[in-house]
A and B are shown apart, each in its own frame.
Chain A
Amino acid sequence: MMIGNNIEELPTSIPSDAYHDKHSSPTFKVHLVIVVRDKDGKVINIHKQRSHSPTANFIQLLLPSSYYNMTGSTITVTNINGSSNPWAFYKGGYTYPNTATNNPSYLVMIQVGSGQQSNPYSSYKLAAPIANGNGSGQLSYSRPSIIPNIIVSGDSASFVISQTFTNVSGATITITEVGVVVNVQNNGAGCGYTQNFGPVLMWYDTLSSPISIPNGGAVTIYYIFTVNP
């Protein structure tokens, strides 16, 4: 069997739906919905935008084990503190809850910031993260949550992660960037290899317009991941 001759003789035909056009729609979309409330709990702003920025960490960590087994390669995971470590499935797997020691890989937070950066792919941290706290320039981070079930609507399905931030700083705070941060740990067979990669930025967006949270108010951020929208 020989493959590859006479490519130039191809009766090539590319169906029209292979091209980008106004009728074309990606099979996967992510939306960012931000709801701002004033000190009385009244909704004062709802911001919606398309989210479009998985980081290199996410794209590479999604690779299947056969990629590593066939190539012998590792990828480099860089956490929000700038520390880098190699990852490969043949060194272990993404930690999973078990009856012994807890080595969690978990959603740390939806992090918000007041900066922006132009290359989300290579971003490993927010440009100017807003710290968790009640001091000047800070927001109080609540615990993030994950919707317990996928929302199905026809052929479409979504899952949602969200987090609320309260502003008790004494002044209005403006956010311009948002990211999803997950703590990543790797466990190997027979405990032969365990690596804590720390908090890793998986998704990053700059906001299409700044969002201001008044003193005493709060903002809830929803990341909505949808297939077949």
Chain B
Amino acid sequence: MVASDVAINDDIINLIMPDDTPDELSFRAYIEAKVYDRDGRLINFHRQEMRSLTQYFLALISALLAGTFSPSGGNVAQPLLTSILGLPSTLSNSTNCAGMWWDFAIQVGSGSQPFSVNLNSLAAPIANGSGEGQLLYTGWNATYTQATHYYTISVYNATSSTITVTEIGLVGTIGMICGGCSFSPITFLLSYDTFSSPISIPSNGSAVFVISISFSG
């Protein structure tokens, strides 16, 4: 006779000790900021570890690690997609084609707040624009080299004042391709970090922010 499974919530999580195995640094994530003055001279380079992934990151990767359909069968979504991301259990549409896609972006802000895993916005996002307190988000890039993803946003300070960045987040958007249905893409905060020292971007200066996520395998 085989006993029923150990209850996942209580028993198994309690089995895991924080330092139960040698620290194999298989996953590293970094944030970089390069700041240029109005003449294009690099005036600051800042690098720190990314420390704060949210539950939405976890739910997103569950789509890859556990699929989008319930393993129990039926035409319903696996539970993390509905319980954490709030996606529909079944997408109502008139054709047999529904596909989930996602995209990422970097957002910077001028506030700070305590981290929690369900945090879903920056404390004080800096809007895209050339008005007071705004930054022009001039370029986005996503690429990878073997086991590392690189996400890059370039910003330009078109205002007459220095703008100081104190927080940064990786933002994810999930949308659906489907026939005969309406689904508005949903945005989530995948990571949130405050800078260990503020990043000041002078008037007519620019900055490049990079988030790199490495799976060393």
Contact = CB atoms under 8 A, between A and B. Distances in A.
B201 interface: no
B9 A189 contact: no
Given A5-B39, A94-B99, A187-B97, A225 B58 contact: yes
Contacts of A25: 23
Contacts of B208: 3
A145 interface: yes
Contact of A6 (B29, B41, B95, B140): B41
Interface stretch (A78-86, A130-138, A147-155, A170-178): A147-155
B142 A160 contact: no
B68 A94 contact: yes
A62 B99 contact: no
Given A33-B15, A182-B65, A52 B53 contact: no
Which secondary structure characterizes the binding site on chain A?
A: mixed
Interface in A62-92: 62-67, 70-71, 89, 92
B129 to A, nearest CB: 17
A54 B148 CA distance: 12
A202 B65 contact: yes
A41 B99 contact: no
Listed residue (A43, A60, A102, A158) with the most chain B CB atoms within 10 angstroms of its CB: A158
From B44, B63, B98, B204, residue with most partner A Cβ within 10 Å: B98
Interface in B182-215: 191, 196-197, 204, 206, 208, 215
9 contacts: A35-B6, A52-B26, A94-B101, A96-B98, A101-B96, A102-B75, A121-B217, A152-B55, A227-B117
B84 interface: yes
Interface of B: 1-3, 5-6, 8-9, 12-13, 15-18, 20-30, 36, 38-55, 57-59, 61-72, 75-80, 83-84, 87, 89-104, 115-118, 140-144, 146-147, 149, 156, 172, 175-179, 181, 191, 196-197, 204, 206, 208, 215-217
A212 interface: no
A194 to B, nearest CB: 7
B104 A93 contact: no
Given A89-B101, A93-B100, A97-B89, A146 B69 contact: no
Nearest to B28: A26
A157 to B, nearest CB: 4
B67 A99 contact: no
Contacts of A24: 25, 49
A80 to B, nearest CB: 15
Interface string A32-68: 0101010111110010111011111011111111110
Given A48-B15, A63-B149, A99 B90 contact: yes
Contacts, number: 357
Contacts of B87: 96
Nearest to B154: A3
Contacts of A119: 217
Nearest to B67: A106
A164 B5 contact: yes
Contacts of A182: 64-67
A228 B53 contact: yes
A99 B75 contact: yes
B25 A26 contact: yes
Contact of B29 (A28, A39, A144, A162): A28
Contact of A191 (B24, B97, B216): B97
A148 B96 contact: no
Nearest to A29: B27
Given A94-B68, A96-B68, A97-B90, A191 B96 contact: yes
Given A48-B15, A65-B101, A155 B144 contact: no
- Please indicate which of the listed interface residues A31, A55, A60 has the most CB atoms of chain B within 10 Å of its own CB: A31
Interface string A101-142: 111111100000000000111000000000000000000000
B61 A152 contact: no
Given A65-B101, A187-B97, A228 B40 contact: no
Contacts of A226: 58
Contact of B69 (A97, A161, A166, A189): A97
